[in-house]
């Protein structure tokens, strides 16, 4: 397909808030041996559960490579709202490799960023990411949506979060990392984000969640639940390395104003009380490719309840078998009182390096029909 070379903001497009209505969600079937243990079967069960919940409320596009396409299509044959697309990817992180979607009235378009596996040759997580880099364009082609070409600007969907009213929250540790756009200044990166996302104000948090392999994606740390309102990953344990990171983030959020001049209302969302670590038995059935980052017994995983996902009538909330699981459900229910909360045990996704938000990318609804796409 021919990619658009103009800038979305110049064309009147902007990124809506995640809590706004969707017409579809994009997911990818997990198979990568270096990410998912036991042939990915435990993770596939969780992905299927999540896809089923979302499909009860909106369409799901589920990507599968050629070698598993027929099997996955057969698995979901009875799910009328799940459409399996034969699109190759290198892993299953749909938030980061699928397009970022922008909207103008009744028209939705995608943005294809440059994807380099969270750091390229500098500190990327795997060496071969060509299929991931091509996925955004292929998704737009399959769904009939026009797509902007943002190459060579490196960005992942998990690195940005917007209120839908002109404010974006990001982390310096991620967007200013040496493996992303080292030739651009912070001001130049801001300008790119404003041009592509229709943003007027960017709030820079210093860091993400402790131990996050993505250099600290914001979607593990802070998220808008409504215009002017955010949740922030938090701990009261001064001995936890996350404590200082959350304190610094709160300091920024308390002094900043959004694009409308509002002070932000911050709700603290406790991380799991006990650190969740990968163990030797988890690693036994993982096979790492040449150039792929391996893991070690005892490595702490970036567990956070901020990595939830909002669908049209519900909120999927990660659960880790931790005593703070129920508190996370209560906080997010208070943020989304009109939605049903779906607690989902997602430790298997966490063992792969992410959580619910990381494996889902939303396609926003249109206000005036389906102009500009054939979803």
CB-side neighbour CA atoms (13 Å) of 301: 25
Q: Identify whether 147 is a catalytic site residue.
A: no
CB 220 within 8 A of CB 173: no
Q: How would you class 2 by CB atoms within 10 Å of its CB: exposed for 0-12, middle for 13-18, buried for 19 or more?
A: exposed
- Where does the chain have alpha helices with state H? 41-55, 69-75, 94-97, 120-123, 130-143, 172-175, 186-197, 242-255, 280-283, 325-335, 347-352
The vertex-182 CA angle with 28 and 290, nearest 5°, equals 50
Taking alpha carbons only, the member of 252, 225, 112, 253 closest to residue 164 is 225
Residue 216 Rama label (left phi>0; alpha psi -120 to 50; beta): left
Helix (H, G, I), strand (E, B) or coil at 154: strand
Spatial separation of the C-alpha atoms in residues 98 and 139, rounded to whole Å: 7
Spatial separation of the C-alpha atoms in residues 29 and 153, rounded to whole Å: 26
Q: b/e map of 104-119 (b: 16 or more CB within 10 Å)?
A: beebbbbbbbbbbbbb
Choice among 147, 174, 222, 358 that is catalytic: 358
State residue 306 phi and psi, 5-degree precision: -65, -15
Catalytic annotation, residues = 358
């Amino acid at each position: 397909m021919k990619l658009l070379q103009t800038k979305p903001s110049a064309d009147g497009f902007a990124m809506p808030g995640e809590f706004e209505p969707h017409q579809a969600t994009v997911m990818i079937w997990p198979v990568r041996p270096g990410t998912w243990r036991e042939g990915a079967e435990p993770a596939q069960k969780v992905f299927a559960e999540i896809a089923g919940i979302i499909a009860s409320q909106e369409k799901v596009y589920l990507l599968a490579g050629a070698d598993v396409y027929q099997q996955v299509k057969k698995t979901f044959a009875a799910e009328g709202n799940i459409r399996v697309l034969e699109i190759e990817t290198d892993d299953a992180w749909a938030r980061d490799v699928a397009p970022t979607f922008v909207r103008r009235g009744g028209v939705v378009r995608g943005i294809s960023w440059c994807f380099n596996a969270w750091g390229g040759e500098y500190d990327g997580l795997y060496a071969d990411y060509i299929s991931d880099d091509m996925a955004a364009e292929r998704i737009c082609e399959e769904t009939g949506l026009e797509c902007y070409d943002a190459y060579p600007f490196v960005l992942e969907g998990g690195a940005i979060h917007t209120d839908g009213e002109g404010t974006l929250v990001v982390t310096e540790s991620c967007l200013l990392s040496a493996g992303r756009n080292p030739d651009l200044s912070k001001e130049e990166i801001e300008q790119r984000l404003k041009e592509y996302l229709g943003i007027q104000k960017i709030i820079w948090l210093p860091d993400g969640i402790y131990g996050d392999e993505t250099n600290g994606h914001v979607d593990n740390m802070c998220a808008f639940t409504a215009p002017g309102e955010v949740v922030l990953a938090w701990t009261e344990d001064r001995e936890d390395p996350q404590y200082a990171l959350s304190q610094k983030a709160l300091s920024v959020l308390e002094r900043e104003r959004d694009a409308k001049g509002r002070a932000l209302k911050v709700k603290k969302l406790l991380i799991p009380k006990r650190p969740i670590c990968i163990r030797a038995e988890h690693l036994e059935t993982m096979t790492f490719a040449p150039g792929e980052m391996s893991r070690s017994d005892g490595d702490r995983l970036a567990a956070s309840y901020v990595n939830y996902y909002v669908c049209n009538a519900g909120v999927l909330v990660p659960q880790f078998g931790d005593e703070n699981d129920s508190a996370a459900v209560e906080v997010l229910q208070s943020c989304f009182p009109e939605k049903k909360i779906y607690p989902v045990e997602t430790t298997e996704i966490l063992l792969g390096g992410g959580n619910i938000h990381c494996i889902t990318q939303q396609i926003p609804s249109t206000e005036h029909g389906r102009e500009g796409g054939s979803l």
